[in-house]
Amino acid sequence: MYTKMHHALVDGVSSMRLLQSVLSTDPDRRGMPPPWAVKPASDRAEHPRDDADQHLTEVPVSAFGSALGLAADAAGIPGALARTVTRGVRNETSALSFYAPRTILNTKITGSRRVAAQDWPIERLRGVGRATGSTINDVVLAMVSGAMRAYLTDLDALPDTGLVAMVPVGLNARQAQHASVDGGNAVGAVMVQLGTDLSDPAARLRAIHRSMKDGKEALGTMTPLQILAMSAIGLAPAVLPPLLRMSGFTRPPFNLIISNVPGPRVPHYYNGAELVGMYPLSIPIHGMALNITCTSYAGRMGFGLTGCRRTVPRLQLLLTHLDNELTALERAAAL
């Protein structure tokens, strides 16, 4: 089954919550409504006037509090951004990137698509993480790093400097609460140095771990509004050139997007039919011909690769390279 939702409506985490709301952990449950069915009205619908009166009194207070918070955040934007942008220009932080090598991925794309998907036991990734002091997400990025190195080498298109990936990350508890109150997004982005110029899998994993740690620490000092402003600056070099017909004249700030969205940990069912796997497919754009998104589900990590068919040839080979890289990481970790 293929489902498609506009990113303006839901992000990855919201889509997982939506999926879980229409499924069940009970394999014997029957009579479940279709996912698109409208839920019954709540009891509050019987007293719309009471709800409306309460809402009218709550909105001004909430809006006033949010406005004060946004004003305080805005006052801190110039200093926070200036420090981060300066470090980004000097290539000293993973919170912002202005320099990434030109690759076959960073060109104009067509409307044709190719997708590839596969999953691996999360316990294998967790084992590498435990042995090396890395997170599961670090291991996911290391798998992609090694796979991209092998893939681009096969095409004689591996740049001398390492690829840079934009990696969405969840905000910490304080920031997420702030974002929820102000109606903002509880997500930021880290520009991760993938180390594809390094031949040793263990060295690539260490470089990725350092880059992720640095980026998260930089984001940890900011408010959601400051992160939003920084993200706009970081995305501008990737988004504006295609719109201004300047693609090819500027260097990309990053080479691809790699997302990891946590999903349900236990099997889910719909009217007794088991959901056996989930493979997310995301959005290539001009200048970013490949998108890799991962989703964990029931003890497995599913990789979904979406690429421009004409720009990214033989996309299926990346799955073989991902499998080989996980084996190489296990070997490097002496597992």
Could you give the residue numbers annotated as active site? 7
Q: Which amino acid is at 176?
A: A
- Measured between alpha carbons, how far is 171 from 186 in angstroms, rounded to an integer? 6
70 HSE (CA, 13 A, CB side): 14
CA distances from 285 to 213, 226, 290 (A): 28, 25, 8
Residues 110/113/116/117 CA torsion (nearest 10 deg): 110
- Strand ranges inside the chain, DSSP E: 113-121, 164-170, 187-193, 256-261, 269-270, 273-274, 290-297, 300-308
Cα 59 from chain centre: 32
What number of other Cβ atoms are within 10 A of residue 329's Cβ? 26
Query: What HEC string does 235-294 produce?
Result: HHHHHHHHHCCCCCCCCCCCCEEEEEECCCCCCCEECCEECCCCCCCCCCECCECEEEEE
